[in-house]
């Protein structure tokens, strides 16, 4: 809170000074209409990632971007860890370890003492773990950077995993589990993962109450020791720092930290599962049906794969571009069947992502909205998009692209992520050109190639009796899809994931 107040004060002072300078120079005249605003020509060059990349003596890669405009520093740690390292009988171990790293004390300090020191510095220190990545962060003012780094590396090297704090987090997680069936989004999310990737893959694994109870402090300690080590880490620093000085500070903190250890299996294993097309539903007494329709997407063949840019543009036109997209126009704007509709086309790095069309509509209009989505799917597969649609979609990516590099923090984030993923820096240099080269023929080609109506999986959560018969005007019913054949999926006990009676 102290840091935020300080930042707001500085920003306000700079804004006042800027306004006063414009007033004195006579440049504060406000145009009579927005169309009268004159914009200078955009002059943007993608930064070279190599200018920010450094390597410590132990091989740890560090990205540094200086920005002295405000006395703020951001430090980001990326760790080659995540859910893909969970033992089969301990789903959630990586996630709980990442959570408790920050919340359980460190370096001989109790959790309460660690919190107090961080609060005294007005420093925001955090940790996380996700499916295929983990990490930590420090956000502080530059005068306390040394103290902040000390706390950060204490947390990274010697977390306490304090027992009472661990129990609190486990209790919180258990309460969250009990609410799994309260929201249709939660139900559809887990069932969709199982339908597309199976129950055995880590991306669709669901922790049960028994799994949670079996995780103890010793498990977290062992997981941290095995994977949270210097050899698995990359670092990004941005803000009010001198590059040579911060590299020297990091050398010091990494000096006594073990780099060697068991090799991390990378890339993560792909799902060994083939989705079965069909119409699936989960019975839930709600007034609206939540719908996902889709199939597996694409795996990226390489970073120069020409189909990827065309798929990005195609999806934007189809349903990913908000109010300008076809699904939103037809389902929401023209028919008023849903507050929102969308599509996504996932291009995975290690296995195919998923293609999805989704919406939430009143039970009696679910079938009609689904019918419209299928009509639009067929249209984008069989006829070229318009010149206006193509231009709008490409501009939405090209024109906003420079904002990805608008701050030192975002620059470090981009290149740190690229290093982690193995993405060459040239990918960003060529991004606008590659998107700009997409043609109407390209959009049609990838739509035909990657969108397959015969492979579609329909998943509906809602009151099936009301959904199945369709709208009162007889414009559509669920019998129109897959010859009316359906599979009911059970609503599952939120704690055991066993079918409920």
CATH assignment, 52-254 = 3.30.830.10
Q: Is the pLDDT reported for residue 246 higher than 90? A: yes
Average pLDDT over residues 401-411: 97
| Of residues 317, 318, 322, 459, the one with CA closest to residue 375 | 318
The confidence band for 7, taking pLDDT boundaries of 50, 70 and 90, is very low
Tokens standing for residue 89: 């009988």
* 52-254 and 278-489: identical CATH topology: yes
pLDDT at 16 over 60: no
Q: How far apart are CA 312 and CA 346, in angstroms?
A: 9
The β-bridge partners of 234 are: 61, 78
Rounded CA-CA distance 312/435 in Å is: 8
Q: How far apart are CA 379 and CA 327, in angstroms?
A: 11
CATH of domain 278-489: 3.30.830.10
The arithmetic mean of pLDDT across residues 231-256, rounded, is 97
- Pairing mode of beta strands 72-79, 233-239: antiparallel
How is 187-254 classified by DSSP, letter by letter? Answer: HHHHHHHHHHH-SSSGGG----HHHHHH--HHHHHHHHHHHSSGGGEEEEEEES--HHHHHHHHHHHH
pTM over 0.85? The answer is: yes
Average pLDDT over residues 482-493: 97
Instruction: Please say if the pLDDT value at position 22 is more than 80.
Output: no
Q: What is the pLDDT of residue 501?
A: 87
Residue 8 has pLDDT above 70, yes or no: no
Structure tokens at 105: 């004390």
What pairs with residue 288 in β-bridges?
Answer: 362
Spatial contact of 498 and 210, defined as CB atoms under 8 Å apart: no
Please say whether the beta carbons of 215 and 96 come within 8 A.
yes
What local confidence, expressed as pLDDT, does residue 30 receive?
A: 82
501 CB-side CA count, 13 A: 0
Reported confidence tier of residue 174, pLDDT bands at 50, 70, 90:
very high
* Calculated CA dihedral for residues 56, 62, 67, 73, nearest 10 degrees: -100
Q: Report the share of the chain in percent with pLDDT over 70.
A: 94
How far apart, in whole angstroms, are the C-alpha atoms of residue 136 and residue 77?
A: 5
The pLDDT of 362-381, averaged and rounded, is 98
Does the N-terminal peptide bond of residue 37 adopt cis geometry, omega within 30 degrees of 0?
Answer: no
Task: Give the start-to-end residue ranges of the domains of the chain.
Answer: 2-29, 52-254, 278-489
Residue 169 to residues 97, 113, 186: CA-CA distances in angstroms?
11, 18, 20
* Contact (CB, 8 A) for 166 and 132: no
């Amino acid at each position: 809170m102290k840091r935020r107040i300080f930042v707001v004060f500085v920003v306000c002072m700079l804004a006042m000074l800027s306004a006063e300078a414009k007033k004195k120079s006579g440049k504060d005249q406000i145009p009579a209409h927005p169309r009268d605003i004159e914009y200078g020509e955009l002059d943007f060059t993608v930064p070279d990632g190599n200018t920010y990349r450094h390597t410590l003596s132990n091989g740890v890669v560090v990205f540094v971007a200086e920005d002295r405009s405000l006395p703020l520093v951001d430090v980001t740690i990326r760790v080659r860890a995540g859910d893909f390292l969970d033992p089969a009988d301990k789903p959630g171990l990586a996630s709980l370890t990442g959570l408790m790293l920050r919340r359980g004390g460190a370096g001989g300090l109790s959790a309460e003492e660690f919190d107090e020191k961080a609060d005294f510095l007005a420093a925001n220190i955090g940790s996380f773990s996700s499916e295929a990545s983990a990490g930590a962060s420090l956000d502080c003012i530059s005068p306390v950077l040394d103290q902040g780094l000390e706390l950060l590396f204490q947390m990274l090297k010697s977390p306490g995993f304090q027992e009472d704090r661990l129990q609190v987090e486990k209790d919180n997680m258990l309460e969250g589990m009990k609410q799994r069936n309260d929201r249709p989004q939660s139900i559809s999310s887990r069932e969709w993962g199982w339908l597309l990737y199976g129950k055995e893959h880590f991306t669709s694994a669901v922790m049960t109450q028994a799994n949670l109870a079996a995780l103890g402090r010793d498990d977290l300690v062992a997981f941290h020791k095995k994977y949270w080590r210097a050899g698995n880490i990359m670092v990004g620093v941005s803000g009010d720092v001198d590059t040579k000085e911060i590299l020297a500070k990091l050398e010091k903190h990494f000096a006594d930290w073990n780099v060697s250890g068991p090799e991390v299996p990378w890339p993560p294993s792909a799902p060994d599962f083939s989705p079965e097309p069909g119409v699936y539903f989960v019975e839930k007494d709600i007034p609206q049906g939540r719908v996902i329709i889709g199939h597996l997407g694409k795996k990226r063949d390489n970073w120069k794969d020409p189909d990827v840019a065309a798929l990005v543009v195609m999806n934007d036109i189809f349903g990913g571009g908000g109010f300008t997209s076809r699904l939103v126009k037809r389902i929401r704007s023209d028919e008023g069947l849903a507050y929102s509709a969308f599509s996504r086309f996932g291009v995975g790095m290690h296995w195919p992502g998923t293609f999805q069309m989704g919406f939430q509509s009143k039970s009696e209009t679910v079938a009609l909205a689904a019918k419209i989505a299928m009509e639009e799917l067929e249209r984008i597969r069989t006829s070229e998009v318009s010149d206006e649609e193509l231009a709008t979609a490409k501009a939405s990516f090209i024109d906003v692209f420079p904002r990805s590099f608008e701050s030192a923090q975002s620059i470090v984030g981009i290149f740190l992520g690229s290093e982690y993923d193995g993405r060459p820096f040239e990918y960003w240099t060529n991004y606008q050109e590659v998107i700009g080269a997409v043609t109407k023929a390209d959009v049609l080609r990838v739509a035909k190639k990657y969108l397959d109506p015969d492979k579609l999986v329909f998943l509906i959560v809602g009151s099936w009796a009301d959904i199945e018969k369709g709208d009162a005007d007889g414009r559509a019913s669920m019998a129109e899809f897959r010859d009316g054949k359906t599979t009911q999926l059970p609503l599952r006990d939120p704690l055991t994931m066993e079918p409920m009676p």
